[in-house]
Amino acid sequence: MDLDFEQLYKAHYMNVYSFVMTLTKKPDEAEEITQKTFFKAMTTKSKHHGNSSQFTWLCAIAKNLFLDDVKLNKRYIDEMAEDERISNVNIERAYADEEIAFRIHQVLHHLEEPYKEVFSLRVFSELSFKKIGLLFGKTENWACVTYHRARVKIQERIDLL
């Protein structure tokens, strides 16, 4: 790490982190984006040219990384929601069949955590991904991804029965 970057990091880390916290409202995400900001500042070809303060330059990088994450997560959640609508029809149809329902419960009984609980909360308790995320102290995106993975695991294991 070169000395100028180390000084930049020490001088602006907390201010950039505080700025990102105002965007994300989530300490883990703010920490991650702040780290990415300094990494990008260190590795990017476009260096600070002095047109603005170093802090302003770092905040611009952080804001762009935050917006990229928002777009990526929204697209991913939208795709997951579409997948869920399609496969929920299949799982619900299968659940109506008593034999298949028993097989789903067999697989669910042996499914590892947190997949088992997230799937149960979503399907049987009909909780939103946001509420499931809150229960686990995680994000809505985490709950959506975990539920999707649980569905895939259940489907794969039912096919093996």
The domain boundary residue, chosen from 35, 70, 105: 70
CA 139/CA 29 separation, integer angstroms = 10
Tell me if the pTM is above 0.85.
no
Does 87 map to a domain? Answer: no
Predicted confidence (pLDDT) at residue 1 exceeds the cutoff of 50? no
Residue 31 counted as domain residue: yes
Q: What percent of the chain stands above pLDDT 70?
A: 76
CATH number, position 143: 1.10.10.10
Question: In terms of domains, do 64 and 101 share one?
Answer: no
Task: Tell me the pLDDT tens digit for each residue of 101-133.
Answer: 777 778 888 889 999 899 888 887 888 888 999
Torsion on CA atoms 69, 141, 89, 107, rounded to nearest 10: 130
Kindly state the percentage of the chain with pLDDT values over 90: 11
Is position 125 within any domain?
yes
Q: Is there a domain that residue 86 lies in?
A: no
Domain end among 70, 87, 105 = 70
Per-residue confidence at 75, pLDDT binned at 50, 70, 90?
low
Q: Identify the CATH number of the domain in which residue 17 sits.
A: 1.10.1740.10
Report cis status (omega within 30 of 0) of the bond before 114.
Answer: yes
Confirm whether 149 is domain-assigned: yes
Same domain, 60 and 113: no
Average pLDDT, the chain: 80
pLDDT score of 34 more than 80: yes
What pLDDT, on a 0 to 100 scale, did the predictor assign at position 110? 87
Is there a domain that residue 75 lies in?
no
Class of residue 82 by CB neighbours under 10 A (exposed 0-12, middle 13-18, buried 19+): exposed
Is residue 90 domain-resident?
Answer: no
- If phi over 0 gives left and psi between -120 and 50 gives alpha, with beta otherwise, what is residue 137? left
- Same domain for 62 and 112, yes or no, is no
Q: Would you say residue 153 lies in a domain? A: yes
For residue 74, the model assigns a pLDDT of 72
Provide CB contacts within 8 A for 78, sequence distance 6+.
none
Range of the domain at 149: 97-160
Among 3-12, 79-88, 119-128, the range scoring the smallest mean pLDDT is 79-88
Q: What local confidence, expressed as pLDDT, does residue 2 receive?
A: 43
Domain shared by 102 and 59, yes or no = no
Domain count, the chain: 2
Asked whether residue 3 carries a pLDDT value surpassing 50, the answer given is: no
Task: Name the residue among 120, 98, 99 with its Cα closest to residue 109.
Answer: 120
pLDDT digit string, tens, across residues 15-26: 999 989 988 888
Pick from 25, 62, 31, 18: nearest CA to 140: 25
